Chain A
């Protein structure tokens, strides 16, 4: 295996990691407030298609990025309206959001399939640091979204752990009636969290369509939204662990298309002789295995999940 190929693998690990981290961070915010949103896949698709179309129109990746975030927030707002304000089943609403979001994205993007945008996010060589061998290329010569994601991760950690807003948000996720009694609006907290989560998913979608796989085709999200949902469990609802998990999943996502070009033998099997389709199951099998291991570790302890996750709250019923 050449050195370049190995560096390429780690560069892609960071990028795929960023992709799932952004989406999972948004889901983490929503789940900490007590709302399960299974619509991440749909919100990412909507973000990908709207971001790409705005990018095509304006030529500005940043305009596209923020437009995608806005669309993501809007789609998330739909889930908030149905499951938080009206208190309908969160699982059903989220699944409908994914199916409807994928359908709507396919419909909206039907005329831009195959087009190539003029301007995309470009790699940001950070002066001085980017020239360090290995480390420089992997960590300091990445598109700006990577650094933004790190920043957002820190901000989310800080807000959740160190501010009154974060405390109220976490309280809403643990016990809605208590939060209500303390004078906070559970509805506002949860709706806000779901919409911010949607914005993150939308942003992740546009990172996909503006950098990682430039363009738009149906099925471009390809299950990454679902991996993000699983990642929140892996991260035990904590931003720091989420980042570690994102790198692990990023690695498997990056490994799959590259394993073909690596000339390695593992357990007597020539890795590059395995069909790419079979290698494609790697991230999904890993997700299942990881979830099983985590549950095994928590089998005698209380789950780290927010206590009120998935439970609708209606003021009348306290």
Chain B
């Protein structure tokens, strides 16, 4: 019987992942089209509305950038852990933890001037995100407990704590019985740039650049990548794996916490259980599509920001905004599949033919493509 097997390509195009991302977008659009069409909508009309609301005009663009900001930050958070092979899938919760601590600071220090208060809140956000990460990070570094599950479990903890604060200790006395927390002080609003975009965008961009420099241009970054790709080599080279795991995860948590503080001071009026809004989970997809690279995170976050703004806008056409979640997941699936075919080709073979002696033995990890974007 002749059957297909996947054989590694000897030569892989540069910028493979960028093409895979484009294929992913195409796949998602086609599948979305089928979904919209079968549920009685006019796909052309829906897509046109999505495109217009995300890209046409400065106001639309500013909305896309506003959404891209937390996505870039959570994407970066996941990428920091991911660059050494760890998965922080709890950025959603760390975002909340960051926003909680930042709110606490704002309540205590609401007499401070704007810039000082904002700076304090952002530091508090980083601290909050790190606090939620301490447990999973220590458990991973010292006991090898899978960080995937522990970080995720704490998402639910953080969200419940916000719900508790809303109904109890921090309930706004002037809210007429509604369970809401009082808004952050007016002077704690991040300065706007244009439309709905604010300084938070620049913070995200700056951090992406810093992270890119740190990972690709410093010994620290090299050790981080080494510890992720070949832990044994790293250990022989005298790198403390435990410390690397701890720093990578705590940094990851801190950045997600910062995302929470930026969201609180930038776009949200107050701390509420919907503040993280799925950004932390979407950040996982962003980082995975970007292959954990900062340049990729920026591009994917922008596209996802557009998809989300588009998803919101089509509600007026009677289309559920859940479409944007589906599109994001489909982009990832499409890109995953495309990347396989970019790195492997199908070879038809009979049973027990070759053991491919001439092929270089190289398990897992496809060859790194040159640049993600």
A complexed with B: yes
Residues of A within 8 A of B (CB): 38, 78, 82, 86-89, 91-93, 95-97, 99-104, 106-107, 110, 218, 222-223, 226, 229-230, 233, 275, 277-278, 280-281, 284-285, 287-288, 291-292, 295-296, 299, 303, 311-312, 314-318
How many Å lie between the Cα of A315 and that of B6 in the bound state? 8
Contact across chains for A281 and B322 when beta carbons are under 8 A apart: no
9 A-B pairs with the lowest CB-CB distances in the bound complex, closest first: A100-B329, A103-B325, A277-B164, A106-B322, A277-B163, A295-B143, A107-B322, A103-B326, A284-B153
* Contact of B87 with A by CB under 8 A: yes
A152 to B357, CA, bound (A): 45
Give the residues in chain B near A89, CB-CB below 8 Å: 288, 336
A91 x B160 contact (CB < 8 A)? no
A-B contact count (CB 8 A): 153
A222 to B160 Cα, complex, angstroms: 12
Contact A295 B144 (CB under 8 A): yes
Q: Is the CB of A284 within 8 A of B156?
A: yes
CB of B7 within 8 Å of the partner chain? yes
Contact A87 B6 (CB under 8 A): yes
Asked if B302 is at the interface (CB within 8 A of a chain A CB), the reply is no
Task: Enumerate B284-306 residues with CB–CB distance to A below 8 Å.
Answer: 284-285, 288
A118 to chain B, nearest CB (A): 25
Would you call A107 and B35 a contact (CB within 8 A)? yes
> Are A287's CB and B322's CB within 8 A?
no
A218 to chain B, nearest CB (A): 8
A-B contact pairs, 21 of them (CB 8 A): A86-B6, A87-B340, A89-B336, A91-B87, A91-B148, A92-B336, A95-B89, A95-B288, A99-B329, A100-B326, A103-B323, A218-B322, A278-B164, A280-B156, A281-B161, A287-B149, A288-B149, A315-B6, A316-B5, A316-B7, A317-B8
- Taking CB atoms, residues of chain A closer than 8 Å to B330 are 100
Bound Cα distance from A299 to B143, whole angstroms: 7
How far apart are the CA atoms of A226 and B146 in the complex, in Å? Answer: 13
Chain A residues with CB under 8 Å of B325's CB are 99-100, 102-103, 106
**Are the CB atoms of B288 and A107 closer together than 8 Å?**
no
**Is B364 a contact partner of A223 (Cβ separation < 8 A)?**
no
Contact assessment for A226 and B329 in the assembled complex, using a CB-CB cutoff below 8 Å: no
Q: How far is the CA of A267 from the CA of B364 in the complex (A)?
A: 52
Least distance between B156 CB and chain A CB atoms (Å): 4
Q: Which of A106, A230, A316 contacts B356 (CB 8 A)?
A: A316
A96 to B135, CA, bound (A): 25
Tell me if B355 is interfacial: C-beta within 8 Å of chain A: yes
Q: Shortest distance in angstroms between A233's beta carbon and chain B's nearest beta carbon?
A: 7
Per DSSP, are chain B's interface residues mostly helix, strand or loop, or mixed?
helix
Residue of A nearest to B166 (CB): A277
A311, B363: Cα distance in complex, Å: 10
B12 within 8 A of A: no
* C-alpha spacing A263/B119, complex, angstroms: 46
Taking a contact as CB atoms closer than 8 A, the residue among A92, A230, A281, A317 that contacts B363 in the complex is A317
Give chain A residues whose Cβ lies under 8 Å from the Cβ of B145. 291-292, 295
When distances are taken between beta carbons in the complex, the residues of chain A under 8 Å from B164 are 275, 277-278
What is the chain B residue whose CB lies nearest that of A274? B164
Closest chain-A Cβ to B145's Cβ sits at a distance in Å of 5
The interface centre, meaning the residue of A78, A222, A280, A284 with most chain B CB atoms within 10 A of its CB, is A284
Interface residues on B, range: 35 or more
Residue among B154, B333, B359 making CB contact with A288, cutoff 8 Å: B154
B279 CB-CB contact with A under 8 Å:
no
State whether B6 touches A280 (Cβ < 8 A). Answer: no
Q: Which residues of B contact A295 (CB under 8 A)?
A: 139, 143-145
B247: Cβ under 8 A from any A Cβ? no
Shortest A63–chain B CB gap in Å is: 22
Query: Do A314 and B153 touch (CB < 8 A)?
Result: no
Check B160 against A281 for contact (C-beta < 8 Å): yes
A38-B356 Cα distance, complex, nearest whole Å: 33
Question: Which residues of B (232-263) have their CB < 8 Å from a CB of A?
Answer: none
A sample of 20 more A-B contacts (CB under 8 A), given A95-B288, A288-B150, A291-B145, is: A91-B148, A95-B284, A97-B329, A99-B284, A100-B325, A100-B328, A103-B325, A107-B35, A222-B156, A223-B153, A226-B149, A288-B136, A288-B153, A291-B149, A291-B150, A292-B139, A295-B143, A314-B6, A316-B5, A316-B8
CB distance from A36 to the nearest CB of B (A): 9
State whether A100 touches B333 (Cβ < 8 A): yes
Residue in A closest to B138 when the chains form the complex, CB atoms: A292
Interface string of B1-39 (1 = CB under 8 A from A): 000011110000000000000000000000000010001
Contact B163 A317 (CB under 8 A): no
A233 pairs with B326, CB closer than 8 A? no
Contact partners of A95 in chain B: CB under 8 A: 89, 284-285, 288
The yes or no answer to B152 lying at the interface (CB within 8 A) is yes
The answer to the question of B332 belonging to the interface, with a C-beta cut-off of 8 Å to chain A, is: yes
CB-based contact A278/B340 at 8 Å: no
CB distance from A139 to the nearest CB of B (A): 30
A107–B363 CB distance below 8 A: no
Which residues of chain A come closer than 8 Å to B44, judged between CB atoms? none
Q: Which one, A86, A104, A222, A230, contacts B149 given CB within 8 A? A: A230
B143-179 interface (Cβ within 8 A of A)? 143-146, 148-150, 152-154, 156-157, 160-161, 163-164, 167-168
Q: In the docked arrangement, what's the CA distance between A284 and B144, Å?
A: 19
Taking CB atoms, residues of chain B closer than 8 Å to A311 are 364
Q: What CA separation (Å) do A216 and B164 show in the bound complex?
A: 25
> B285–A96 contact, CB under 8 A?
yes
B70 CB to nearest A CB, Å: 16
Q: A278–B153 Cα gap in the complex (Å)?
A: 14
Bound Cα distance from A279 to B32, whole angstroms: 40
Hey, what's the 0/1 contact readout for B95-120 against A, CB within 8 Å counting as 1?
A: 00000000000000000000000000
Once the chains bind, are A96 and B149 in contact (CB under 8 Å)? Answer: no
Rounded to whole angstroms, the CA-CA distance of A103 and B327 in the bound complex is 9
Chain A residues with CB under 8 Å of B324's CB are: 103
Residues of B within 8 A of A299 (CB): 143-144
Please pick, from A86, A281, A296, the residue contacting B143 in the complex, using a CB distance under 8 A: A296
Query: Per-residue 0/1 for B326-362: is the Cβ within 8 Å of any A Cβ (1 yes, 0 no)?
Result: 1011101100110110001001000000011001010
